[in-house]
Amino acid sequence: MGYSANYIAFGFQPSDIADSKFDRICETPDNMTRLKDMQHARQLVVQNLQKDHERQKKFYDRRHRTHDYQINDKVLVYNPSFRQGTAKAFTTPFHGPGTVIKKLHNNAYQVRIQDKRGNWIIDDVAIQRLRPYYEDVLYLEKYGIEEKNE
């Protein structure tokens, strides 16, 4: 079952660098047998790739949670850039909260978020970079803070 890339591509195992030339394929008398072996090896490769794909999909789907954001939902945007001179342990790669303005398609949203200078910007963000933002309701109630509508 252990076929090398050279065997799958050319039908033989090279014994040295000179053997990996293309012209050696035509020199052997049993080309038809070798061709059938190559086709069988390629079929095994395709079958193994399909099995691995299904297995990896099963593990991915087990942990993956899709999230569909609605307009005006609060989100955090993943942006892993750190300011020079700050420790990564004390910074977060998520910026926000931002507000979802529009759904562009299944995997992208338009988000209104505040940059480091305090200016509001509108950015198109892939869904992989978004996380839902959960406000601390107890904190807001304790200090009498009302939600700001942006």
- What is the structure's pLDDT at 101? 94
Are the CB atoms for 122 and 112 separated by under 8 Å?
yes
Question: How far is it, in rounded angstroms, from Cα 112 to Cα 97?
Answer: 9
- What is the structure's pLDDT at 96? 79
Structurally, what CATH architecture does the domain formed by 74-142 represent?
Roll (2.30)
Residues 6 or more apart from 95 whose CB is under 8 A from it?
76, 77, 78, 79, 113
- What's the pLDDT tens digit per position in 69-93? 889 999 998 887 777 777 777 777 8
Phi, psi values for residue 33, rounded to 5°? -65, -45
Max mean pLDDT range (22-26, 28-32, 62-66): 62-66
pLDDT bucket at 150, cuts 50 / 70 / 90 = very low
- What's the pLDDT tens digit per position in 111-128? 999 877 888 888 898 888
Whole-prediction pTM: 0.52
- What's the pLDDT tens digit per position in 97-114? 899 999 998 889 999 998
Are the CB atoms for 81 and 95 separated by under 8 Å?
no
Please report, for the chain, the start and end positions of each structural domain, with discontinuous segments joined by +.
5-63, 74-142
